[in-house]
Chain A
Amino acid sequence: MKITRTFAAGAVSLAALLSASAAFADCGIQGAGSVRILSNDFEALRIINDVATSCATADVKVTANATAEHKNIQGPALTVNPAEYTVAVVANNSIVPLLNGDLIRPLDDLVAKYGASLQPNQLIKIDGKVMAIAFMGNGQHLFYRKDILEKAGVAVPTSYEEMLAAAQAIKDAGLMDYPLAASDKPGWDLAAEFVNMYLGTGGEFFAPGSAELAIDNDQGRKVLETMRAMTGFMNPDYLTYDANELNKVWDAGNVALMNQWGSLAGAAIDPAKANPEVAANTGFAAAPTIGGGTIPAAALWWDGFTIAKNISDADAEVSFQAMVKGISPETVAAHPDAATWLVAGYQPGPTAVGVIGNATGGARAYPMQPYMGLLHTALSTELADFIAGKEDADQALADVKAAYDAAAKEGGFLK
């Protein structure tokens, strides 16, 4: 993964774009059946769905439903027999309920038969069995304003400590009142901020091999302290900012440094939509480290597809082939900037710098423990008072533990 090839990649993509529409006419899918895709709703997934849908023939029917509600739909939809969807596009966290419910099938046979274009690192193996095929990486990483940093005379920060110092410098120089922003809205986003930073400290969330929570430690306190310190440089409305809102305040030119999703990097510098002054000065880098740590403080995410268990083998075969076509090197060559692809032949473009930086810097993946979702929920509500400045770190960690313990008991993970 070399970033120096950016310019070449741009030229390649343009050529591929011109030839792309003709290339997909025949996908050569063997067999007959129905392909029904359920996925989240963002650009890269819409592209894949479109390519898969274009594979429809008289024998193969293809439909796709891209919706932000996919996490709530997938469980019930794959539980019925035959399942409502044959393909569920998932990520580190959303595959867990499907694994827990035994709703997706092992893909080893299908990979052997139809997976020639897949790379070994795309295979998500759970207990030795391939359960999902990853096609892109994602994660939160640093967005910075080159012009503002230059005027304030500071370098691109590589740690949260430098980020706070840079914010102070920008404020002192009178360039911005609120140079920082983060997705601190209580809910999924706030919890993700904590998870990112805690991963960066090298700490473990749970005692080994059990569901016992283990975040009440110095690392946990360091994370909360840093999150609190950041809010001092944020717009007073920071409690209402989620990831989508962050892109808007960034586009309005109100923020100089923030950690934001790699999948939204393209939108921030999109010449058709973004504010040209901001877009021209927007740079991306790996997520900062925290507390003297050496790895970027951000979770690594993969997005991949799974095949439902409760469907006929014929449907599973055509679904797998259609999805392999959807994530094929040709699709990626045609849309190199839509995501940080994990597919063969991908040449990273300018928007992939951050996620690749996280990966090469050794950032850790978002945990796949079956009870991680319960912890995420507990963090999402119990950190609200802390980040609003209404309670101290000890109280916040105690609250998280109490809320998690109650939920984990109900979920059958703790006695």
Chain B
Amino acid sequence: MPHRTFFVFIFPSILAMVLFITLPILSVVVQSLFVQHEAVLITVENCTPFGCETQTRVDTAAMQKLQADQPMGQFAGFANYLNRNHLAVDEIGAILADNRGFGDVAARIFNLPFYKALSFTLVYCFLVTPLAMALGFAIALAVNTLPGLLKGPTIFVSILPMIITPLVGSLILAWMFNPSGILGATLQSLTGDPTLSLRASPVLTWIVLLVYGVWTNGPFSFVVFYAGLQTVPQDTVESAKIDGASRWEVTRHVIMPHLAPLATFVALVQLMDNFRVFEPIVGFSAEANATSLSWLVFNDLVGQDAQLFGSAASTSVITIVGVLILLTPVLRRTWREFNRKAV
């Protein structure tokens, strides 16, 4: 294809990507470098139905002048990234300089909101991704052996968790895990512990969130792997069987190598998705025990009285950098394979 034709074909997509992906990300990056203008405070008397009080308020006239001169606010460089609510460079330095051993360092670092969120985000990412892929692969293998009549309904049921809106899905599971819900009550009677609550302790909360993650992400792997299974060369499978390979050996030595490129693709997408984990934390009301980077952004912007745009923007940029770091090994491998094929 001549370069010119290729360019004409691809131009609409590039335009859309620049408009809807690149420019917004750039604006977030710019936003993250600014803090708001220094507030001009005046003391005034406020009267409400419950009496009068002397309180400070913002001098709006003075602020408007500042705003007109510099609409973006004050340039702060990387201050938003380095402050206590994000990378907390000074705090980490202080902790490392003066501590009582490794346990103390870890406890104090995970007390900082960013690292607390990061720890759950990473654990979720690295446990849910492989487990969900394994589950999806197992379902795909199982469905593939079903007789034709049963396949359709089974596939439909298997991909239900993916069809359900994540927030709704997590709410459904949250109610089931409630001590008066079906799963919560069953667990209480099985363990004989009437006070057992999966939402009360950090460890149990994490486990529930991870189970939810595997449940909701499994179907995606299943769909992709199931499609892949249809392309496995049957003559190779048959010859392996004639050579006396067991079902496991066929799976291990024929099917898995065949699906490896697909697995890379699934891992890529799932890592990206899971790094942005958010809905289950809200759905399960798990904010006390588990937070994630996306939740930090949400908390800066929504549901509170004051919005912190610079803070939210810097967390977003850190999330993007995190996704890039996570994807580097997978992307490098794809690139190498691409080069090998090209040669």
Contacts and interface: CB of A to CB of B under 8 A. Distances in A.
Interface of A: 71-72, 75, 92-94, 96-97, 99-102, 121-128, 134, 137, 185-188, 209-211, 235-237, 239-240, 242, 300, 302, 342, 359, 363-365, 367-374, 376-377, 380-382, 384-385, 387-388, 390-391, 395, 399, 402-403, 405-407, 409-413, 415
Contacts of A377: 299-300, 304-306, 308
Interface string B173-215: 0000011000000000000000101011010000000000000
Ordered nearest first, which 10 A-B pairs have the shortest CB separation? A373-B305, A373-B306, A127-B44, A102-B60, A236-B200, A240-B285, A239-B288, A125-B47, A412-B36, A186-B287
A92 B202 CA distance: 35
Given A187-B287, A239-B199, A380 B304 contact: yes
A123 B311 CA distance: 36
A72 B49 CA distance: 26
A411 B36 contact: yes
A236 B306 contact: no
Given A124-B49, A365-B48, 6 more contacts: A96-B305, A125-B47, A186-B288, A239-B199, A407-B308, A411-B35
B173 to A, nearest CB: 13
A405 B84 CA distance: 9
B306 A385 contact: no
A188 B111 contact: no
Given A134-B49, A403-B85, A388 B39 contact: no
B50 A237 contact: no
Contacts of B178: 237
A174 B94 CA distance: 50
A309 to B, nearest CB: 10
Contact of A122 (B49, B53, B195): B49
B56 to A, nearest CB: 6
Nearest to A385: B111
Interface in B284-312: 284-289, 291, 299-308, 310-311
18 contacts: A99-B60, A102-B60, A102-B63, A125-B52, A210-B41, A211-B39, A235-B179, A236-B199, A237-B179, A240-B286, A365-B48, A367-B55, A373-B304, A374-B306, A377-B300, A388-B289, A403-B113, A411-B35
* Interface magnitude class on chain B: 35 or more
Given A72-B302, A381-B113, A412 B35 contact: yes
Contacts of A239: 199-200, 285, 288-289
A174 to B, nearest CB: 14
Contact of A185 (B48, B179, B285): B285
B190 to A, nearest CB: 17
B36 A93 contact: no
A410 B36 contact: yes
A412 B39 CA distance: 5
Contacts, number: 190
A412 B38 contact: yes
Contacts of A374: 306, 308
A67 B115 CA distance: 34
A209 B310 contact: no
A367 B61 CA distance: 22
With a 10 A CB-CB cut-off, give which of B195, B284, B299, B303 has the most chain A CB atoms: B303
Contacts of A342: 49
Interface in B69-105: 73-74, 76, 79-80, 83-85, 91
B304 A302 contact: no
A298 B122 CA distance: 40
B200 A372 contact: no
B57 interface: yes
B243 to A, nearest CB: 57
B64 interface: yes
B46 interface: yes
Given A126-B57, A406-B85, A387 B305 contact: no
Nearest to B44: A127
A134 B48 contact: yes
A300 B50 CA distance: 8
B285 A370 contact: no
B246 to A, nearest CB: 48
B58 A100 contact: yes
B118 to A, nearest CB: 15
Nearest to B304: A377
B235 interface: no
Contact of A126 (B44, B288, B289, B306): B44
A368 B56 CA distance: 8
Given A369-B56, A380-B304, A410 B311 contact: yes
Nearest to A375: B306
Contacts of A406: 83-85
Interface string B301-343: 1111111101100000000000000000000000000000000
Contacts of B63: 100, 102
Given A100-B60, A410-B83, A413-B39, A372 B305 contact: yes
B84 A370 contact: no
A236 B60 contact: no
B51 interface: yes
A412 B37 CA distance: 5
B304 A124 contact: no
Contact of A403 (B42, B50, B84): B84
A366 to B, nearest CB: 9
A407 B303 contact: no
B120 to A, nearest CB: 13
B319 to A, nearest CB: 17
Contacts of B64: 102
A246 B291 CA distance: 23
A209 B49 contact: no
A374 to B, nearest CB: 5
Interface in B7-40: 35-39
Contacts of A97: 305-306
Contacts of A411: 35-36, 39, 306, 308
A234 to B, nearest CB: 10
Nearest to A358: B50
B201 to A, nearest CB: 8
